Amino acid sequence: MEKIKLNDRTFKVMIPAEEIDRAVAKVAERLNSDYASAAKPPIFVGVLCGAVVFLSDLLRKLNFANEMTFMQVSSYQGTQSTGSVQRKLGIDFDITGRDIILVEDIVETGHSIEHMITYLESLKPNSVEVCTLFYKPEKHQYDREIKYVAMEIGNEFIVGYGLDYDQLGRGLKDIYVVENE
């Protein structure tokens, strides 16, 4: 499938599934190296809904004990960020003293990540790191390092592999970009 139509837009393949899989494997290798000897299993916090596909593939490539939970925030409408972040689902158990890896599908401005990190840090974990499938360094507005980045991209609007356009396209195995924009 080279092109798809979602609502009013046509998208074309930008990153094939095989390339995504290699990038996920590389970030998993780094996590395996960093957390293999952790005293307590780290907790992976997937950001719903976009990070589900990435988190699922990532966890299957890890070779250390870990736990998983989810958070949900909202900041997008269509292809644009609203600039406002709302938490819809948070952590409902004690994470005091635990290492947290916040797993996101894409980090752009950083507003959502900062909101979630502030929330998680209020729960007194040992550490909070970010692991993202895609990172847009040109759009990022914060000094905080994004430690685990699978792929850097430009400012394109993309869908597939968990990322959506008005809730459509999350199940696509490749990454697609808007055509002619």
In this structure, is the dihedral angle defined by the CA atoms of residues 78, 82, 88 and 93, taken in order, positive or negative?
A: positive
- Tell me the two tokens of residue 26: 């590389």
- Segment holding 159, helix H or strand E: strand 158-159
Contact by Cβ (8 Å): 15, 28: no
Catalytic residue among 108, 114, 152, 179: 108
Residue 3's φ and ψ, nearest 5 degrees, are: -135, 150
Catalytic residue check, 18? no
Residue 132's φ and ψ, nearest 5 degrees, are: -130, 145
Contact by Cβ (8 Å): 179, 21: no
Residue positions annotated with a catalytic role: 108
